[in-house]
Amino acid sequence: MNHLIDILDLSVEEISELIAVANDIMANPEKYQEKCRYKKLATLFFEPSTRTRLSFEAAMMELGGNVLGFSDAASSSSSKGESVSDTVSVVSGYADIIAMRHPKEGAPLVAAMKSEVPIINAGDGGHNHPTQTLADLLTIYREKGDLNNLTIGFCGDLKFGRTVHSLIAAMSRYKNIKFVLISPNELKLPSYVKNDHIKEKNIPYVQTESLDDVIGDLDILYMTRVQKERFFNEEDYLRLKDSYILTPEKLKNAKSDLSILHPLPRVNEISTLVDEDPRACYFRQTKNGKYMRMALILKLLEVM
Ligand code: CP
C-alpha cells in the first residue's frame, strides 16, 4: 500500500516524476480529465483548511473523480469519541484514497496502519505537511528552473511551522543548498529537524533574528505565519505575532530574482503591497498545489 505520510516517503526521482506530471497536466488538462472516473477521494479534516482541502477536492474533480468527507471534527463522530483508527477503518470502505489533516502529530501514520486505501498526510499538528512541500517544490522549480544551487531563507515561526519542517527535509536532498533560518529565539527550528536534515548532510546554515541582515543573500524567501493555534498562552502569541512584516521597503535590498513563497494563510507577515511585486509567488504557489495533488493522486492510485 502506498501512502504519503512524510515527504521523505518519496525519492528525489519520484518528486521529479510528480513535477513532470504536474507540468504536463497544466499544459494538457484534457488528457487527465477521465483518469479517476468512478474513484472517490475522502477528505477527513479534523483541523481548519482552505487551500489544502479545496485543492485536493478540485484535484480529484479535475481528474473525473468524486469527493466526500468532512471539514470539521465537530461534524464527524470523533466528537462522540471515535478514534482515528476506527474512523479510517470505516472510511476506507467508502473511498479509494484518503487525505487527512489532524491536530495531533502522527495521526495520519496511525491511520495508514489501519487503512485499506492510500492515506495522504494533509498536515499533522506542528510536525509535517508533505503535500504543501510538493506545492513548494513545483513552485521553486517553475520559478528557478532548478531545485539545486539555492540559498533559502525561512522566516517566522520555524518551531511549529510544519511546512518549514517538511520543506527543509525535502531541500536537504538537493545539491549546493544553503539555509538561512530567521526567527525569534522562542520560535527557532526544532533540534530534531536541524539534526536529522541540516547537520546530518553538512548543509551550510545561518541562524539569525534579523531578516534585514540576510535578505540580500536569498534566492528564496519562505515567509510563515506565527500560528496562534499552536500557542499555549495568548500573551506569548501577541508578543511574537508581528516579529516580521515583509514590505516593499524591506525588499529594496533583496535580489531582483528573489522568489517569495508563503504556504498561506497570511495574517500580517507580508504587506498586501508586496502582492504586486513580480517576486511574490504565493498565489501561483497555491495553484501549483492543486496540480501536484493531482499528480500525487494519480501516483498513489497507480493510474499514471
Ligand atoms: N497551506 C495550507 O495548508 O493552507 P490551509 O491551512 O488553508 O490548507
Are the CB atoms for 12 and 173 separated by under 8 Å?
yes
| 226: nearest Cα among 212, 237, 211, 210 | 237
**What's phi and psi for 142, nearest 5 deg?**
-70, -30
Q: How far is the CA of 52 from the centre of ligand 1 (A)?
A: 5
Tell the residue number behind the cell numbers 504519503, with chain if given: 4
**Residues in the ligand 1 pocket, defined by CB under 6 Å:** 49-52, 123, 132, 263-265
- Sign for the pseudo-dihedral over CA of 284, 287, 291, 297: positive
Beta strands in 90-229 (DSSP E): 97-102, 119-124, 150-155, 177-182, 205-208, 220-223
For residues 108 and 98, give the distance between their C-alpha atoms in angstroms, rounded to a whole number: 10
Q: What is the pLDDT of residue 1?
A: 67
Q: How far is the CA of 129 from the centre of ligand 1 (A)?
A: 9
What stretches of 83-195 show up as alpha helix (H) in DSSP?
Answer: 84-91, 107-114, 130-144, 162-171, 191-193
Q: How far is CA 237 from CA 192, 226, 241, in A?
A: 23, 8, 6
For residues 195 and 202, give the distance between their C-alpha atoms in angstroms, rounded to a whole number: 10
The CATH number for 7-128+287-300, chosen from 3.40.50.1370, 3.30.1120.130, 3.40.50.10860, 1.20.210.10, is: 3.40.50.1370
Q: What is the pLDDT of residue 241?
A: 81
- With residues binned 3-state (H G I as helix, E B as strand, rest as coil), the percentages for the chain, rounded to 5, are 45, 15, 35
Tell the residue number behind the cell numbers 510528480, with chain if given: 18
175 is an active site residue: no
DSSP 149: S
Q: Which of 39, 53, 127, 129 is catalytic?
A: 129
Which atom number of ligand 1 is nearest to the Cα of residue 264? 1
Q: Write out the chain's pLDDT in tens, 304 residues.
A: 699 999 999 999 999 999 999 999 999 999 999 999 999 999 999 999 999 999 999 999 999 999 999 999 999 999 999 999 999 999 999 999 999 999 999 999 999 999 999 999 999 998 999 999 999 999 999 999 999 999 999 999 999 999 999 999 999 999 999 999 999 998 999 999 999 999 999 999 999 999 999 999 999 999 999 877 776 788 877 877 878 999 999 999 999 999 999 999 999 999 999 999 999 999 999 999 999 999 999 999 999 6
Q: Which of 39, 51, 127, 159 is catalytic?
A: 51
Q: How far is the CA of 202 from the centre of ligand 1 (A)?
A: 31
DSSP 198: I
52 is an active site residue: yes
The residues with which 220 forms a beta bridge, in sequence order, are: 152, 259
Domain regions of the chain by residue span:
7-128+287-300, 131-285
**What's phi and psi for 63, nearest 5 deg?**
-95, 5
129 is an active site residue: yes
* Domains 7-128+287-300 and 131-285 alike in fold: yes
Q: What is the pLDDT of residue 156?
A: 95
Which atom number of ligand 1 is nearest to the Cα of residue 55? 8
Q: Which of 43, 52, 87, 139 is catalytic?
A: 52
Q: What is the pLDDT of residue 262?
A: 98
Q: How far is the CA of 235 from the centre of ligand 1 (A)?
A: 25
Q: How far is CA 175 from CA 1, 146, 151, 159, 241, in A?
A: 31, 10, 11, 25, 34
For residues 1 and 7, give the distance between their C-alpha atoms in angstroms, rounded to a whole number: 16
| 137: nearest Cα among 167, 99, 161 | 167
Instruction: Give Cα 140 to chain centroid, integer Å.
Output: 13
- Grid cell listed for 134: 510538493
Cis peptide before 190 (omega within 30 of 0): no
Assign domain 131-285 to a CATH class.
alpha beta
